[in-house]
Structure 1
Amino acid sequence: MKINLTQNKNFKLFKIISKVAQENNQTVYIVGGYVRDLLMQRKAPTDIDFVTDQSGIELAKAVGKELGDLKVSVFKTYGTAMIKYQDLDLEFVGARKESYSEDSRKPAVETGTLEDDQKRRDFTVNALAISLNEENFGELIDPFNGREDMQNKILRTPLEPAQTYSDDPLRMMRAIRFASVLHFEIEKNSLEAIKQEAERIKIVSMERIMVEFNKIMLSEKPSVGLKLMEETTLLEKIIPELTALKGIEEVEGQTHKDNFWHTLEVVDNISKNTDSLWLRWAALLHDIGKAPTKKFVEKIGWTFHGHEFLGSKMVKNLFTRLKLPLGPDMKYVQKMVKLSSRPIALIDDGTSDSALRRLLFDAGEDLEDLFTLCKADITTKNASKQEKFKKNFEYVAKKIKEVEEKDQVRNFQPPISGEEIMELFNLKPGREIGILKEKVKEAILEGIIANDKDEARNFVIKEAKLLGLEV
């Protein structure tokens, strides 16, 4: 079968590469994800992989020269070379075959043929190649029926699946990621092989695992991938804090919901309303404190007292172990987890303005994200209950807006600074300054004084006297 490349936006580039290969007595093929996405009519990726039966490095150097003496980055260890051309990353590699040791996913590589190279690919849909050789330009080379699998939306490995996953266990995560992102089904034997080889995931670096995991999290419906990870036991090996939420217990006829499956619903719900990776992570982790805080109390039932606070503390250890960023992104997730139940507690006519001011102060610029999370947390299938919860949130949002317009405490900045307090009492930096600033903040949040410079100054003078300070 021939693929018509004449309408492809990179057609001219492909013809140049074909000509250079011909002049240098080399073969050349487009392989991998670019071919897959081209056939699936998906948006073309910006990285294109080329395989030659000879030297990928030599071919890259010749192509770089032809394209205008472009810089060629050479990676001798792997026999690969890369060229940045316009908005594309072009990678050239010599066809190779691989063999693996038990304790590493890094293969021993030796020279091979195009067929060898296609065999080492993870899935049949990624083992497709398009010839750029003059004699059969555009011919699709598909030794494992990858095009048929693509049409049937099946993920299958070119070779025996257990060996494929054992050799490179990251392929297990890639299988689940493709299932989640491309809406493919993992072929039955392949899925069983992932269960069988799941323990091997431990030899893969956490950074590489998280690249795949985050792509699952950013997919249209993350629960597809998360359910497959749970089914294959990969999830409990990577994030046991989540699988610890599984199960329903009953005491004295009282049960609680299965917080694991609830969490997956929350992640799907929030994914309809945000593309933010870290807000989706907040949804994934919002209940992780429930497993360690679960307790049955007579006459009350099941409680999870303080689970938000404990959950927010668990986030740092979890992010550290998963090699996720420990800066602002982690702190944002911590904040979302910690505040995840606060708006619900304010659904009451008797809620004080001070409670609303405190939520505004604590949430700051992330208040809208917090409400998005809280709405996603509504997983009841009862339509009237859903409508009631929705109206309750609208009511709280309206009350908060009124308080915000009146008191201006979102992204709160004290109306009197530490420098002004030091000048007022002729003080040097010390604990008294911090005490007075904290008292001003509390007085504003409690509604004792307005968020006003003159009121704050008078309040500080009064409080300072109690500390033995005079103007």
Structure 2
Amino acid sequence: MVKTNYKEALQNPIFNIVSAAAQELQVDAYVIGGFVRDLILDRGAKKDIDIVAVGSGIALAQKISAMLPRKPKVQVFKNYGTAMLRYEGTDIEFVGARRESYQADSRNPVVENGTLEDDQNRRDFTINALALSLNKDQFGDLLDPFGGLQDLNDKMIRTPLDPDVTYSDDPLRMLRAIRFATQLGFGIDKKSLDSITDNKERIRIISGERIVEELHKILASEKPSEGFLLLYKTGLLDIILPELTALNQVEEIEGHTHKNNFYHTLEVVDNISRNTDDVWLRWAALLHDIGKAPTKRFSKKQGWTFHGHEFVGGKMTKKIFERLHMPLNQKMKFVQKMVMMSSRPIVLSQDIATDSAVRRLVFDAGEDVESLMILCEADITTKNPVKFKRYHQNFDLVRKKIVEVEARDHVRNFQPPITGEEIMAIYNLKPSREIGVLKEAIKEAILEGDIPNDYDAAYRFMEEQAEKMGLTKP
């Protein structure tokens, strides 16, 4: 079972301290899981370390804290039999070796004390079951009972036990398998992939929060499409985000076809991932076309149309966030705004971008105008090199126009120079429809370029409009 020695890799002083504390308590201790995996893959130092003790993990954590100079606080989670402390910027979690058993309606196991082998058996994947001994006589020895080292070499995700048992016990592991495959650029063992397909309905017992946590990590990867294709292939995506799988259809009527908006969406997500790490902007790319399935229509005159798909997609975005228990705060509003405005710069880039149209774009997008431009540029997926070049050149022109208009007119997030309270005071009015009409008229005049965005011009314009409305000053 012992493959090789990684003593030289355990340079962090904490490992020697763990070793000394374990020896004093007469328990065996091992570093296990992601730290070992990433160490072998040379993925850089992790900011969290998992230590398993054949005995009490809580007692080991408390002993280590007492041995450290600053005696860091130990957080104890008695229900889970775990403890955590922070050492020089690294979170270290301690758990006693355990065996687990599951019930069909829950991913929360019944836990009993166990051996290191029991603990490795309960791990999700062979590459996460690798352990390095921190015991004095075997310090740095690799314990690899399931061939995890070979799976790392083969770039393969495989479960230690029968995958039907692993995935049925804890269905979240199905998403984790796909997430790890996406993050690491690994494949998933065929038996394991088939098992995910067979057990896909079990994902329904997992909370939206846990599902979204994995989706975030897939979206944050270098090439998210690989994860979403695996989610689609296994049937998980149809359960989690049916709005996306609904886009995977192409119809032909009287020789007219439309592009497959599902595969187009995945291209857009990969495109935008090369230009931004903002996971919420990546969410916007993932959802930007979801309104196309319910709005798809065919007419002999126009062919296939998707009228109003941005507005419908915006409403669908909120429902998705609610269903998956995602934050219904500014993050949701940002994604919703990006979806609802996703075609605006594209339309501008296809026509002559007038100052008025650009002012409205900047006003409506506000501080998110650059994010919107990044999204729309990612939306260019044509394989025609001439069209591709022309579209990007047009976007460059729109960007320059945005800079010019913003420098001159200052319309980003602007408020009309004259407030409703001032209008009420000037014309001795109570809150009424007329005030809203005047404010809107001033705003429209500025956006159209009829008047400059300054107080004096707005005041004169207000007087003209008020006179037409029959309003007089007292």
What range describes the TM-score normalised by the shorter chain of this pair? Answer: over 0.9
Query: How far is 1:430 from its partner?
Result: 4.4
* Aligned-partner residue type, residue 110 of structure 1: E
Query: How far is 1:27 from its partner?
Result: 0.8
* Aligned-partner residue type, residue 337 of structure 1: V
Farther off after superposition, 254-263 or 379-388 = 379-388
2:277 pairs with one of 275, 278, 303: 275
Query: How far is 1:289 from its partner?
Result: 0.4
* Residue-by-residue CA offset, 1:12-43 (whole Å, 9 max, x unaligned): 21111111111111111111111111111112
Matched with 1:323 is: 325
Distance across 2 between alignment mates of 1:71 and 1:414: 53
Distance across 1 between alignment mates of 2:267 and 2:223: 10
* Aligned-partner residue type, residue 224 of structure 1: E
Query: How far is 1:332 from its partner?
Result: 1.0
CA contact (8 A) 2:451 2:458 kept: yes
Distance across 2 between alignment mates of 1:45 and 1:80: 19
Matched with 2:106 is: 104
**Structure 2 alignment gaps of length 5 or more:** none
* Aligned-partner residue type, residue 143 of structure 1: P
Distance across 2 between alignment mates of 1:300 and 1:461: 46
Distance across 2 between alignment mates of 1:185 and 1:48: 25
Distance across 1 between alignment mates of 2:152 and 2:273: 26
Matched with 2:184 is: 182
- Provide closer, same or farther for how the CA distance between residues 7 and 32 of structure 1 changes in structure 2, counting only shifts above 3 A: closer
**Aligned length in residues:** 470
Query: How far is 1:428 from its partner?
Result: 4.5
- Provide closer, same or farther for how the CA distance between residues 430 and 300 of structure 1 changes in structure 2, counting only shifts above 3 A: closer
Query: How far is 1:242 from its partner?
Result: 0.4
Matched with 1:289 is: 291
2:340 pairs with one of 338, 353, 362: 338
Query: How far is 1:429 from its partner?
Result: 4.5
**Structure 1 alignment gaps of length 5 or more:** none
* Residue-by-residue CA offset, 1:160-182 (whole Å, 9 max, x unaligned): 01110000000000000000001
1:226 pairs with one of 206, 228, 232: 228
* Aligned-partner residue type, residue 83 of structure 1: L
Does 1:54 pair with 2:58?
A: no
Matched with 1:79 is: 81
1:3 pairs with one of 2, 5, 9: 5
Q: How does the TM-score come out when normalised to structure 1?
A: 0.96
Matched with 1:407 is: 409
* Residue-by-residue CA offset, 1:348-379 (whole Å, 9 max, x unaligned): 56554322221121112222211111111111
- Provide closer, same or farther for how the CA distance between residues 348 and 83 of structure 1 changes in structure 2, counting only shifts above 3 A: closer
CA contact (8 A) 2:6 2:142 kept: no
1:216 pairs with one of 215, 218, 225: 218
**Matched residue of 2:349: which SS?**
coil
Distance across 2 between alignment mates of 1:189 and 1:137: 35
Distance across 1 between alignment mates of 2:297 and 2:440: 36
- Provide closer, same or farther for how the CA distance between residues 417 and 28 of structure 1 changes in structure 2, counting only shifts above 3 A: same
Which structure 2 residues correspond to residues 342-381 of structure 1 after superposition, within 5 A? 342-347=344-349, 350-381=352-383
1:383 pairs with one of 375, 382, 385: 385
Q: Percent identity?
A: 60
**Aligned-pair RMSD on alpha carbons?**
1.5
Matched with 2:32 is: 31
- Provide closer, same or farther for how the CA distance between residues 7 and 103 of structure 1 changes in structure 2, counting only shifts above 3 A: closer
Which structure 2 residues correspond to residues 163-178 of structure 1 after superposition, within 5 A? 163-178=165-180
- Provide closer, same or farther for how the CA distance between residues 43 and 158 of structure 1 changes in structure 2, counting only shifts above 3 A: same
Does 1:43 pair with 2:34?
A: no
**Matched residue of 1:314: which SS?**
helix
* Residue-by-residue CA offset, 1:426-463 (whole Å, 9 max, x unaligned): 34544433332111101111222221211100111222
**Matched residue of 1:394: which SS?**
helix
Distance across 1 between alignment mates of 2:6 and 2:145: 19
* Residue-by-residue CA offset, 1:194-221 (whole Å, 9 max, x unaligned): 0000000000111011111100000000
* Residue-by-residue CA offset, 1:117-173 (whole Å, 9 max, x unaligned): 000000000001111111111110000010110011011000001110000000000
Farther off after superposition, 421-430 or 46-55 = 421-430
- Provide closer, same or farther for how the CA distance between residues 129 and 436 of structure 1 changes in structure 2, counting only shifts above 3 A: same
Matched with 2:116 is: 114
Distance across 2 between alignment mates of 1:385 and 1:240: 32
* Aligned-partner residue type, residue 434 of structure 2: E
* Aligned-partner residue type, residue 254 of structure 1: H
Matched with 1:416 is: 418
Distance across 2 between alignment mates of 1:123 and 1:6: 25
Does 1:127 pair with 2:129?
A: yes
Q: How does the TM-score come out when normalised to structure 2?
A: 0.96
* Residue-by-residue CA offset, 1:387-424 (whole Å, 9 max, x unaligned): 11112212222333333333221222222223332332
Distance across 2 between alignment mates of 1:302 and 1:170: 39
Distance across 2 between alignment mates of 1:225 and 1:9: 34
